A and B are shown apart, each in its own frame.
Chain A
Amino acid sequence: MSRAEEELRSIVRKLLERKDVELVLGYEYYGRSVRPCFVSKPEEVERLVWNSDCWFNLATYLRSLRSRRVGIVAKGCDGRSIVELVKENQVDRGSIVVIAVECNGVFKPFKYGSTHVGRRLADYCRRCVTRVSPVADYLVKKGGQAPEDENTVAGDNASDWLSLFRKCLKCMACVKACPLCYCTECSIEGFKPDLVHRLRVPQELFTFHLTRALHMAGRCVECGACESACPVEIPLTRLYHELNEWFRENYGYAPGMSLSEAPPPLVFKEGGED
């Protein structure tokens, strides 16, 4: 157990004992992988872990727990998505306790049938802008160094998006793993009205991914949950990063960096200077 883990557990134990929160969202081991876990009793905190395998963005669960007081273990990017959720009125900042953990990047998850043996730092972590959450009630310093990257080749540079999208199964893992994809009626899920036909593949795979990309522009915090969840490893975050870059150049806005900065689409005035 690392020092950071020890510190994390003691914070969570304190929060649960004092009944500051009903539930804490964290990570636990199962096999050699890490998965989200929900801790509601002080004696369960021993399950909690914190390491470079904790790639999932726990902020995804916050909306479904809106009526409860919850604590959440948040990496830098997870914190940014919490900020965006608060700004979009999806989560009440007052009802969540953010336990920020200093993150040095996460590994690509183990995938079925992969031939890669070494662990590789996720591509999106190489573009990371904040290792610590912009909002934090508690801070756990990692004190370690960046994870050992056993990857000898830099991130793959496949740029043929059409052939990448052709691999898509439309399993919706990218949508469901995304904290900011919270529409109750999802236009690309393909039910009535059929905005994007669900079974019209591969013709509408482009529409599917570009619609999602447009909805994420200027909102995506590049946490990479979609990319890591994808069973066929489509590098989605790279697409959203390019749109975010465009957004930053044109509006000078980077999503999730501060609670006071309003998202441009919300304050946009037709014909105005804003």
Chain B
Amino acid sequence: MLFLDEDGFKRLLEQLVSNIRVIAPVETDGYFEFKTIKHGGEASLDYSNTRLPPKRFFLPQREVVFKHDPKTRALHEPMGGLEAVLLGVRPCDASALNIFDSVLLKPPNPDPFYESRRRSITVVSLSCAKPREECFCNVFEAGPIRGSGEDITLTRITGGFLVEARSRRGQSLVEVSASLFEEAGPEHLEEYGELTCRLTREMNSRIEISRERLVRLEATLDEGFFQQAAQRCVECSLCSFTCPVCYCFDTEDYFEKNAYVRTKGWDTCASTLFTRMASGLDPRVSRVDRFCHRFCHKLSRIPMAFNSFGCVGCGRCVSLCPVGVDIREVLKRWG
């Protein structure tokens, strides 16, 4: 592990900003948003978490798959992402990228759009110092100190940051500015150990569940419980759209400026039309079915297929849901 003092961090940030596109949390209208910054001072690292996850840099709300001009018969496939450094991602949101990797990069048909973006963006996470009230990342081992999808993990300690390179790409970023870093001393490591202990204890005191039991959620479904909880749901798609993990997409074709355009963008299982087929048949016809599906998919089906949960415990859906649907209630009941 390496140590980077405050001054070194500022210099590193300036170096990065002048060389590459840097995306960092910026405060706007009372909350934090990921934005491209022009100089190091714009970035704010004193945030609980950004309101929206950094998902859109990897899976944009809408992207063009191809354009076809019927006159010239030219086919245009926009592709590739800009090289960038995504700084200040919380460990939970970084862990979501790990789930994307297992789902979207699964051979033999990896998503080329996601792949190119994932390759071009270096993710630098920043450990949580004060987890939010609605956070439960400990349940899925997605934080609060280390996540699982980042290239570099930064942890704030007295006088600077502890730096841990988590991938080859992270390692090379550290090597470029090697002079700024120093080997972490025993006092740094001791502080890190204490911080980890304190935060883990704090998170575990809020909620602690058995992951093995949770995976069996779908098999041991309690209809009554879900019927009660689903009564409240108004079926907006806020929870999916603000979720760092929800990756379902839909495509749409339209004609624009002399070209046929195929777009790909976010879709949501909360929508009544998500599973409706052309014939009119809908296997998920009731509100309870759709409501159950969201939890079963995240907590039961994804872990069975990919060995990691489809939730990272960031708490966005808990806090932003207009009617207070709380995934922690499901966790406490089944975990």
- Nearest neighbor of A203 in chain B, beta-carbon distance: B256
Tell me, yes or no, whether A229 is within 8 Å of chain B by CB.
yes
Q: Are A198 and B27 in contact (CB under 8 A)?
A: no
A205 CB to nearest B CB, Å = 10
A156 with B29: CB separation less than 8 A: yes
Q: Which of A170, A194, A233 has the most CB of B within 10 A?
A: A170
Measured CA separation A228–B234 after assembly (Å) = 14
Q: Is the CB of A200 within 8 A of B252?
A: yes
Residues of chain B within 8 A of A225, CB atoms compared: 322
Please count how many residues in chain B sit with their CB below 8 Å of the partner chain's CB atoms: 45
B213 CB within 8 Å of chain A: no
Taking a contact as CB atoms under 8 Å apart, the answer to whether A114 and B31 are in contact is: yes
Min CB gap B278→A, angstroms: 10
Q: Which candidate, A1-9, A28-36, A84-92, is the interface stretch facing chain B?
A: A28-36
Contacts of B281 in A (CB 8 A): none
Give Cα A170–Cα B266 distance, bound, in whole angstroms. Answer: 10
Report how far A156 CA is from B29 CA in the complex, Å.
Answer: 9
Tell me the B255-278 residues at the A interface (CB within 8 Å). Answer: 256, 263-265, 271, 273
Contact present for A110 and B323 (CB under 8 Å) = no
Chain A positions 1-49 with a Cβ under 8 Å from a chain B Cβ: 30-38
Q: What residues of B have a CB within 8 angstroms of the CB of A35 in the complex? A: 232, 323-324
B51 and A111 contacting across the interface, CB-CB below 8 Å: yes
A-chain residues with CB within 8 Å of residue B235 when the two chains form the complex: 176
Give every chain A residue within 8 A of B31 (Cβ-Cβ): 111-115
B324 touches A30 (CB 8 A): yes
Distance to closest chain A CB from B52 (angstroms): 7
| Minimal beta-carbon separation of A80 from chain B (angstroms) | 19
Within 8 A of A (CB), among B21-44: 27, 29-32
Q: Please name the residue on chain A nearest to B49 by beta carbon.
A: A113
| Contact code string B266-305 (vs A, CB < 8 Å = 1, else 0) | 0000010100000000000000000000000000000000
Complex contacts, A197 vs chain B, CB 8 Å: 252, 254
**B236, A175: Cβ atoms under 8 Å?**
yes
Residue of B nearest to A38 (CB): B231
B201 proximal to A (CB < 8 A): no
**Residue B326 is within 8 A (CB to CB) of chain A in the complex:** yes
- CB neighbours of B11 from chain A (8 A): none
- Check B234–A60 contact: CB distance below 8 A: yes
Minimum CB–CB distance for B64 against chain A, Å: 10
The stretch of B71-79, B101-109, B153-161, B313-321 in contact with A is: B313-321
Q: Is there a chain B Cβ closer than 8 Å to A101's Cβ?
A: no
Supply 13 further A-B pairs (C-beta < 8 A) apart from A173-B236, A201-B265: A31-B134, A36-B324, A112-B242, A112-B320, A113-B48, A156-B29, A169-B238, A177-B323, A194-B252, A200-B252, A229-B238, A229-B322, A232-B51
- Some 9 contacts from A to B, beta carbons below 8 A apart, are A30-B324, A31-B134, A32-B133, A36-B232, A36-B324, A114-B31, A115-B30, A176-B322, A197-B254
